[in-house]
Structure 1
């Protein structure tokens, strides 16, 4: 039997798997909503993650006003997350202008000492993560192209790049201490 959204939210108070089921039902639609409004794939993923994080935090306040359908509730949260993001950027931009700060900061010149040990750290990664990072960072391919090259989905390619970069950061941070 398929549980209603409202039943999943109620169950998620003691069973995180129930919230995961709700996430699976709505993640693609919420991502598409953010993608259409932001016009930026990476921003859309971040906004979607923030939407579900907020939904998780306020799930106890959910009121079933749509016969068990949580769509309007989730899209209300998505709208608020998007508006907050836009306002935050506008406020930061306005504050910099009022203070007479450069609106467009000059390009940063990286400190290349952090590259010490990078080759060894890359070699320590699993092949799938190393290859995903190479395709995305070195070859500057979009995630769809990385996924096609690796024979996986764009979401899985993102995960591999993220996990690989996290492992690199952790290892390189430990080595510099």
Structure 2
């Protein structure tokens, strides 16, 4: 006899990749700066696409972008842009690729000013996840607008308030798991 499947958010029920991502990663409070940066770049690539597309291409993104190491990405030049535009394993958008390279430069500038990316991000939610209702379907918030503006001030691209809100949900800065979901208020 199999164990009953725990209730999860509706968006995660249509495919095993979505379910696994939901169950092990989405909405769990992320404090590791490297993981936060990687997820932010992936959310930028996801704009206008289904998230499952990014999940399927995640390993290729990681390989193509040198493990999302900002020091290595900051050294990417036109040959790397051309290489990535030819990589069928990723979303091939020149604007996103160039933004990822530029974002590596912005991140390194933050580090040079002794700004810790994780601490910087989490201050926008007071250091603890905001508990949403999981039902309203919000796509932005005052916090995502403020964080988006602060990232843009530091030179980041593809960090509009809608992308930032989706990233905040993914990284657990906002807990928008549905009320019946077994991951609801995991950090509480």
* TM-score, length of structure 1 as denominator length: 0.31
Which structure has more helix as a fraction of its residues?
A: 1
Pick the structure with greater CA Rg.
Answer: 1
* TM-score, length of structure 2 as denominator length: 0.29
